[in-house]
Each structure stands twice: as structure tokens, then as C-alpha cells.
Amino acid sequence: MTHPLIVGNWKMHGDGAWLDRVAAIAGAVAVPQIDVALCVPATLIHRAATIAPGLTIGAQDCHWAATGAHTGAISAMMLREAGAQVMILGHSERRAAGDDDAHVAAKVAAAQNAGLRVILCVGESAAERDDGAATARVRAQLIASLPERLTAGLTIAYEPIWAIGRGVIPSPVEITSVVDGIRSVLTARNVANARVLYGGSVTAAATRDLLARTDIDGLLVGAASLKPATFSEIIGAAIGLTNLDRPKPRL
Ligand SMILES: O=C[C@H](O)COP(=O)(O)O
């Protein structure tokens, strides 16, 4: 039986008052048959990891250098020391803010060197989808976003940019094509055991259909992770599916 991985991404939401939400989410995941991570703003990582030791706390970005004159930046090792165990990298919102594939690859290397498990995001734009180029685009982006040396603990999140925060989810055929493309890249890089997540407008209602697919190992959840009740519903739906016969345990 595969353990689905559900990752919440709070993006730039949350202050100290939100630690109650962290505690509530931690309470919903105290079961062994599912992996849940919550990627909070950097300012909350230490406090979240302290109050919810049973919940995997993650970061959302890092600098690619281990140390140096980079005013305002935070290294992967600093985030790990604060309590992060996983790191989202290459999110389309970071790419839109200036990260290119080479930056992302360097950050993946930095995070892995710091001992963090990486959730590497890839996804096509609306125009690329309309051109029928989604799979080719995502494959190319993934190839260019992977560093030369990879260690274990890599997860890829397929997040079509046009589906993020829009209330739309790609068709099963579209997801199959892109996820197959992602897995072919991973196989070529000898990381075929990596998990592949889907992200983009995930809701509790959509969770069952998405996780019933055998090619998706979990979900990256944005807006629906902000409210513990909603996120717990998603987690609950995922737990309910762990009794299904999912043939390919990964990780
Ligand atoms: O990292 C999460 C994604 O950007 C999805 O966000 P969303 O669930 O609000 O569409």
C-alpha cells in the first residue's frame, strides 16, 4: 500500500496566530498510513516544528548558495536548522519572480546537500497547453531543473500554471500525458522511485478522484490548506483511500 503524500503550501499567509492552525492540522494527521507536510512561511518554521513535532514542516524556497553575501536570503541549511524537513522549489510563483531552470537546479542541489527532501514543481502555462505542448514543456523544464547529482528523497509536483487558484483541474487524459512524461525523465535520471504529486485547485471534493489514480502519489494543496477544516477533509479523504489496492509503493 502506498502512503499518499499530501503537502500544504501556505504561500505568504500566516503569522503567529496561525500556529493554532498548525496544531489543528497536526491533530488530523496522527495516523501512520499517510504522509503530510505543511510548508509555512519561513518566519513560522521554527515555532511550527516546535509545537507540532509529529507534523513534517517545510519551507517554500531557499538561496542556492550555502552561505555568503546575499542580503535578505536564507540558505537551505538555515531553514533545516529552523526545523524544515522538506522544501518546495521551482514553484511557478517563484519562477515568475525570476527563478529560471538553472536557479532551480542549483537550489535543488543546495536543499539536498542540506539534507532536505525536495518537492520540485513543474508545469506549463495556459498558452503552452493551448499549443498542445504541455508534456514537452514540462519534460524540458524538469530536465533543466534537475541538478547533475541527485540524492534520494525527490518528489515532483505537477502544477499546471493555468490551474493554480483558478478552480479548474486538467482532464485525466491531460494529467496522464504529463505525468508519464515526468516519469520518463525520472527513469532516465535513475530516480524512478520518486513520488509525483498533482497540484492546482485541489479541493476535498476532487481528492478522491485524483488519488484514486495510480500514477499520482499525492497532492500539493494551496488555498485549501489554509483552513484546518478544509485541509483535514482532504487528508481524511486521502486516508480513506489508503485501503485501495494501489500497486506501486514509492519511497
Ligand atoms: O502550491 C500550491 C499550488 O500553487 C496550488 O495552489 P491552489 O491549490 O491554491 O490552486
| pLDDT reported for residue 47 | 98
CB-based contact 234:207 (threshold 8 Å): yes
Q: Tell me, what's the ipTM?
A: 0.99
The residue ranges of DSSP E strands in the chain, in sequence order, are 5-9, 35-39, 56-59, 86-89, 117-122, 154-158, 195-199, 218-221
Instruction: Establish whether 93 is a catalytic residue.
Output: no
Distance (Å, rounded) from C-alpha 200 to C-alpha 219? 9
Distance from residue 69's CA to the centre of ligand 1 (Å)? 32
Instruction: Give just the sign of the alpha carbon dihedral 177, 248, 155, 44.
Output: positive
For 196-209, how does the pLDDT look when each residue is reduced to its tens digit (9 = 90+)?
999 999 999 999 99
Write out the three cell numbers for 57: 514542516
According to CATH, the superfamily of the domain at 5-241 is Aldolase class I (3.20.20.70)
- What confidence score (pLDDT) does residue 243 get? 56
The letter for the amino acid at 182 is: I
* Strand-pair partners of 202: none
Q: Pick the catalytic residue: 93, 124, 128, 159?
A: 159
Whether 44 is in the pocket of ligand 1, judged by its Cβ within 6 Å, is no
Write down the pTM of the prediction: 0.94
Helix (H) or strand (E) holding 28: helix 19-28
User: Ligand 1 pocket, 115 CB below 6 A?
Assistant: no
Please give the distance, rounded to the nearest whole angstrom, from the Cα atom of residue 198 to the centre of ligand 1.
Answer: 10
Smallest CA separation from ligand 1 atom 7, residue: 222
Q: Are 8 and 89 in contact (CB under 8 A)?
A: no
Where the chain has pLDDT below 50, the residues are 1, 244-251
Beta strands in 25-168 (DSSP E): 35-39, 56-59, 86-89, 117-122, 154-158
Q: Is the CB of 207 under 6 A from ligand 1?
A: no
- Domain ranges for the chain, please list them: 5-241
**Ligand 1 atom at minimum distance from 121 CA:** 1
User: Catalytic: which of 91, 93, 124, 128?
Assistant: 91
Q: Annotated catalytic, 159?
A: yes
How far is 172 from 177, CA to CA, in rounded Å?
9
Closest by CA position to 170, among listed 217, 142, 134, 204? 134
